[in-house]
A and B are shown apart, each in its own frame.
Chain A
Amino acid sequence: MPKRTDIKNILVIGAGPIIIGQACEFDYSGAQACKALREEGFRVILVNSNPATIMTDPEMATATYIEPLHWQTIARIIEQERPDALLPTMGGQTALNCALDLDREGVLEKFDVEMIGASKKAIDKAENRQRFRRAMAKIGLNMPRSEVVHNLEEASAAIATIGFPAIVRSSFTLGGTGSGIAYNRDEYMDICERGIAASPTHELLVEQSVLGWKEYEMEVVRDSKDNCIIICSIENLDPMGVHTGDSITVAPAQTLTDKEYQIMRNASIKVLREIGVDTGGSNVQFAVNPENGELIIIEMNPRVSRSSALASKATGFPIARIAAKLAVGYTLDELANEITGDIIPASFEPSLDYIVTKIPRFTFEKFTQADDRLTTQMKSVGEVMAMGRTFQESLQKAIRGMETGVTGLNEIVDATEDNLLETIERECRVPRAARLWYVADALRHGLSVDEVFNICRIDPWFLVQINDLVAEENTLKQAGPVALTKTRLRQLKRKGFADARLAELTGTSEVAIRQARINHNVRPVFKRVDSCAAEFESATAYLYSTYDAECEAAPSTRQKIMVLGGGPNRIGQGIEFDYCCVQAAFAMREAGYETIMVNCNPETVSTDYDISDRLYFEPLTLENVLDIIHIEKPQGVIVQYGGQTPLKLARDLEQAGVSIIGTSPDSIDLAEDRERFQKILAEIGLKQPPNRTARDVEQAVRGAAEIGYPLVVRPSYVLGGRAMEIIYNEADLRRYMDIAVHVSSALPVLLDRFLNSAIEVDVDAIADGKDVCIAGIMEHIEQAGVHSGDSACSLPPHSLSDEVQDKITHQVGALARALNVVGLMNTQFAIQNDDIYVLEVNPRASRTIPFVSKATGISIAKIAVNCMVGNSLVAQGMTHIPIPNYYCVKESVFPFIKFPGVDPLLGPEMKSTGEVMGVGKTFGAAFAKAQLAAGETFSRSGRAFISVRDTDKEKAVIVARELFALGYELCATHGTCEALTQAGIECEPVNKVREGQPHIVDMLKNDTIALIVNTTEDKKTVADSYSIRRTALQHKVFYTTTIAAAMATIAALKQRDSVVGVNSLQNLHKGMFT
């Protein structure tokens, strides 16, 4: 059936902010869907609250709404835009849930909107545990023994039949929130209690454990004519028990015979038919008993997913794009497989002649109190994918793409440790982020493959290969560098060993290994990902490196610009940088260059093969990047857009003779180097908070005494405020220097005087080496001390005077000129009593670039990259970027709910995973929108609880008065209560937890508190109030941990009625705010 002509306008719902379990893979799928629908001539209306996405670029849809993903807001958009159809399958669980809400509330019926891509019935059948189980029984597929429970009594009864260990799954949640594995009754009841609270339907599934079984996924696409194709099979290296998002996975499946594979294929197709996925992509998960091949089905997702993004990148088959076209009536045979240059149709099954390995990336170091065991609730924040001609090669490439400091299967245990084998065994048995390395150590320290298998249940097919790598390492360690003959070098490179790892193993340098390789002409070739194992010619330059005979890179002789991407997502470096890289590729293509993208993150838009002219899916290491440059010889390489990942390579690339365009690596270094930077500031007469650099503990203590406490301390060269803390006294400083960081003279610790209650300001600017243009001045809501990535901010500033803003503009100009910036520059200031202090300058893309671009309607990243290739701001007509006549507020979104036991307190170390944007005519309205988009709901009445540190008591009076005026009853801890009562405010005292029951946490648990204002100072008050914040989080009570945020909240509460209006970006950018 060809394209439907009865629909013209289609509403696409995005996935909202990046959270654990729902990351930028949905920007990839959503962007593909928008593009696919627009090229078919549909009018696309897009709603997504996340400004950091490519999909919310105004060019991607006809009307783009950066609005909260909440049914009432979307209802307004539907009323305004009158779409004929709604496509809910591109925005993850969030979009599906929104669509179900819209249906339930009658909005779809009222405005006659048809759901396409997945029907309500199908979504419900797939997501409702009981219905799914019935459906599977009907088609003869087994599921684990299980029971559905709705409360703790039922849970208690269910465990009698299920037995331990038991898997608990929460219904209608994403990334496995509220799920877990229970080994005993205490754990079980605890997980059940959390799970029931997390599930919107208060429903849990308790099921038989199939821990240790092999886990598989099938990515299936079906069209309206019942044509079904399998895009990719995925085998999890980590067996059942670890969420697939947290597992190392391999594609295609490696340990199934054809008979077993076809049983799984048939089952997958049967599942789609029975669930009723009429068009689009789905993911079906299976467990297989390694003893007898028994197959059971775990679950299915009737939408594109993280796995479908991975499968798309792994095969070159764009699942989301095809799914969008199927949703509007096409059938698979009517669509082309574009990667082969349209010579074959989309109705076929990709064949792979390489191995794909995906490794998740975790950030437990930021949540030290979190339980880092991997379970059925996803905990990773990003992932790396690598391709190689063998599993060993792809595994080792993926490992070095992770940027966690390892170069391969590095030793992780201390060989001198007393309980060495015990540690190894424990870490192999209980999966955590580093299990793979413990497995290697187990084999290294003499355990047999069988023994390791019995402990961890990782399939021997993988273990034997890991064992082989370990054996190679041992041989190499003994032989030293002389053993690296040409033949040996080639053999090791074919197994994926990094130059850096070979250097470590043989006691030489990476440079020496590289030189030896060049001398012996041991260089990688590049092969194409073509979806068909070379059966058809591929027109697409989607490439990966390997050590084999024939190179298919076929580089052109055009003028080319290479963009180095950001690698795996992590807290502090995520989608924002991918957005910038994609913008750079777009801009350079428009400017007539051939564009080359290098990245290894399968979730991203940048690794979509049609974003750039050529895509190298490779780890962002010096070795791999130089190998690509050797083949491509680009005129310029952009390192400033992908975050720290490419920046770390800048110096070495430059030394290797690579032309880095834009701001020079030396200037970037200048801004990072405390001492050099201070000289520049002094020269141009700008102020910094008093500060010192310390290379050891005593130097730190001395420095601190000179500048005075409190201090902000951090290691140099970090992103996302890693290990950054506010220190109030010498004892804490000594602890920090001893434990928190490993100081060295190469990487000193920076001490800054902490500016109390200062307002922090972020400025993004573009410079061309001559002129400087301010892109946006953002005023933070939270005061200095909260990491800029975690703080909400407002553009334009909501409280800064014009005079201060003018001064800031002037200072930014001076800094950009002094640092010879060509491209982007981000500056952070602290304003204290109208004094302006420079906190830091980063002459590169910042996290706020997409936000500023969405707010102003100007692609900042594109203009800057044009500056980098020599087009001046004047030539581009971009000497001035207008300030919007509305407010845009960016708010951060945190993963605390996923990490029980972690304090949700904000500080100098960044902890947010994503962001949302709210737009309003006033600051209050924009802030309210942003809070709604971030999933925060204020109770408009009830009891507000206030507990503040002494220094905030004065301001707490203002907060309390405002809250009282808004109609809240007030209660406070004794000290705060006294301050409020003295100021004449009616207030009820409440016990702190340590003052005995009934206390504030009891009240929270009884749901008698509507709102919390809680500020803290030193370690003790933080520890005291931890249970308040944690309980509030669990009970979904709105809380703020700074006075500034409390004031913003009050502004928002006053604007409660003005948040209903919705505005498309296209209208906003034309100055049409409604």
Chain B
Amino acid sequence: MENNALLALEDGLLFYGTSIGVAGEAVGEVVFNTAITGYQEILTDPSYYRQIVTLTHPHIGNTGTNFADEEANKVYISGLIIRDLSLTTSNWRADENLGDYLVRHNIVAIADIDTRQLTRHLRKHGVMRAGIVAGADIDAAQAIKAAKSFAGLVGMDLAKAVSTATPYPWTDGTCDLGGGIKNKHDKKTWRVIAYDFGVKRNILRILVDLGCEVRVVPAQTPASEILAEKPDGVFLSNGPGDPVSCDYAIDAIKEIIHAGLPVFGICLGYQLLALALGAKTIKMKFGHHGANHPVQSLLDKQVLISSQNHGFAVDEKTLPNCLTATHRSLFDGSLQGVQHKDKPVFGFQGHPEASPGPHDLQSLFKHFIALMRAHKT
């Protein structure tokens, strides 16, 4: 342990540890994630933009990193905090070890700190701003100052920042471990436009698997452009930041819903969908970040284990009459899914695409296909 890195929280709590990424400074909102597997997917999930993530499982890096497990084209987290960086990489799919990967992606990261203490602190006091400094001369005052310099996430429109600049088609299917990523160019039945607010690749891959011809568009694409293309359905992706700030998206979604197109929203996309229909969102104390969250389907009472990653939530008390609650978290009772009473529109707060996490909710994608099928006929 070299004590060449320091994590400082805005309330002054300090953690000295070892730098396992590049030297420098990182700031962001610090959150904890309790998933045991899937660190690479977490690192590359655009929803974590401007967030520093601490992983509660102590050994990270065991399986290295590989091309197929990327959820985006780069690392999106601002900084990484772990207890212990694996001494070695052991997995037949590994291309690179985690340390090298972090350096290659220019990430500031700290290890050898009591991540459980940090997690308990966040649970008690809520998420907070934090700074990591790593390098030869680290200074506590500077680190705290860095933490406080971060503007926070409330009111921040980050979807714009992580979204694609130009539209593009997506053709990859899900990863077949033995054969790598399936590149499916066979005939597609459903033309889907996916709004990229920070989309995870596995969402697009599952849509392709289910026979969708997917076109990914920038966050600020106006509804008129979408409607002009006459797609079979519109998908609203996950993404970072405060949903209320994405007024352009909310406006576009209103129009799309009005036009009667099938719409499916995940995470931020679900929040935007709810906002478009008149509901309100709130900032949560420490959010949901993990792969073990039980969600109950209110239709058949089935319990499904879901992957979760959100710091904002739709306030169920503000749901408009046109929306029905479909899922609820069994951890804290919070709203997890809605569907429109009259229109082919629904959304889910958690991550049915998993990656990382259980696949229990993948049937939601099939529901989207069913809505498109019904809409077409």
Contacts and interface: CB of A to CB of B under 8 A. Distances in A.
A461 B34 contact: no
Contacts of A532: 34, 292
Interface stretch (B22-30, B111-119, B255-263): B111-119
Nearest to B360: A228
Interface string A244-264: 000000001011111111110
A447 B175 CA distance: 37
A344 B331 CA distance: 5
Given A332-B303, A491-B1, A347 B177 contact: no
Contact of B56 (A226, A333, A351): A351
Contact of A351 (B59, B84, B292): B292
A175 B92 CA distance: 32
B359 interface: yes
A712 interface: no
B115 to A, nearest CB: 7
A435 B84 CA distance: 27
A534 B114 CA distance: 12
A262 B90 contact: no
Contacts of A345: 294, 330
A353 B84 contact: no
B91 interface: yes
Given A348-B292, A461-B88, A257 B37 contact: yes
Contacts, number: 173
A968 interface: no
B196 interface: no
B35 interface: yes
Among B15, B93, B113, B120: residue with most chain A CB under 10 A: B120
Given A293-B177, A461-B90, A532-B34, A257 B63 contact: yes
Contact of B92 (A252, A293, A491): A293
A259 B66 CA distance: 11
Contacts of B40: 257
A534 B286 CA distance: 12
A548 B116 CA distance: 9
B92 A292 contact: yes
Contacts of B330: 333, 344-345, 347-348
Contacts of B290: 351, 533, 535
B57 A353 contact: yes
B37 A261 contact: yes
A744 interface: no
B116 A254 contact: no
B55 to A, nearest CB: 9
A535 B291 CA distance: 12
Contacts of A333: 294, 296, 301, 303, 330
Interface in B207-233: none
A313 to B, nearest CB: 18
Q: What is the interface of chain B mostly: helix, strand, loop, or mixed? A: loop
A263 B68 CA distance: 15
Contacts of A226: 302
B258 to A, nearest CB: 37
B324 interface: no
Among A262, A294, A390: residue with most chain B CB under 10 A: A262
Nearest to B178: A292
Interface in B271-309: 290-294, 296, 301-303, 305
A389 interface: yes
B316 interface: no
Contacts of A350: 292
A347 B84 CA distance: 29
Contacts of A391: 59
B69 interface: yes
Given A333-B303, A347-B294, A533-B119, A252 B36 contact: yes
Contacts of B91: 255-257, 260
Interface in A288-327: 290-294
Nearest to A252: B36
Given A255-B91, A333-B303, A351-B292, A549 B56 contact: no
Contacts of A491: 1
A353 B177 contact: no
Interface residues of B, number: 57
B57 A533 contact: yes
Given A262-B354, A461-B86, A229 B177 contact: no
A553 to B, nearest CB: 13
A256 B37 contact: yes
A263 B120 contact: no
B355 to A, nearest CB: 7
A258 B356 contact: yes
A1061 interface: no
A533 B59 contact: no
B167 interface: no
B74 interface: no
Contacts of A263: 177
Interface residues of A, number: 58
A254 B88 contact: no
B106 interface: no
A390 B34 contact: no
A348 B293 contact: yes
Contacts of A225: 301-303
B88 A464 contact: yes
Contact of A353 (B37, B56, B294): B56
Contacts of A354: 58
Contact of A550 (B32, B38, B93, B116): B116
B90 A459 contact: yes
Contact of B36 (A290, A351, A535): A351
Contacts of B119: 353, 533-535
A226 B88 CA distance: 39
B358 interface: yes
B334 interface: no
Contacts of A534: 32, 56, 116, 119-120, 123
Contacts of B86: 461
B62 A255 contact: yes
Nearest to A534: B119
A389 B83 contact: yes
Contacts of B120: 534, 550, 552
A251 to B, nearest CB: 10
Contacts of A353: 34, 56-58, 83, 115-116, 119
Given A348-B292, A353-B116, A460-B90, A229 B57 contact: no
Contact of B58 (A262, A390, A460, A461): A390
A549 B58 contact: no
Contacts of B178: 292-294
A221 to B, nearest CB: 11
Contact of A548 (B36, B114, B293): B114
Contacts of A351: 34-36, 56-57, 290-292
A75 interface: no
Given A461-B86, A548-B116, A349 B305 contact: yes
B355 A549 contact: no
B62 A229 contact: no
B81 to A, nearest CB: 13
A347 B303 contact: yes
A355 interface: yes
A266 interface: yes
Interface of B: 1, 15, 32, 34-38, 40-41, 56-59, 62-63, 66, 68-69, 83-84, 86-88, 90-93, 113-117, 119-120, 123, 175, 177-178, 290-294, 296, 301-303, 305, 330-331, 354-359
Q: Which 4 A-B pairs have the closest CB atoms?
A: A258-B38, A550-B117, A549-B114, A461-B90
14 contacts: A225-B302, A254-B59, A257-B93, A265-B358, A293-B178, A333-B330, A350-B292, A351-B34, A353-B116, A390-B59, A461-B62, A533-B290, A535-B123, A552-B120
Given A225-B302, A259-B177, A535-B34, 20 more contacts: A225-B303, A229-B305, A254-B62, A256-B37, A257-B69, A258-B357, A259-B355, A265-B359, A291-B92, A293-B92, A353-B116, A353-B119, A354-B58, A390-B83, A464-B90, A533-B119, A535-B32, A548-B117, A550-B120, A552-B120
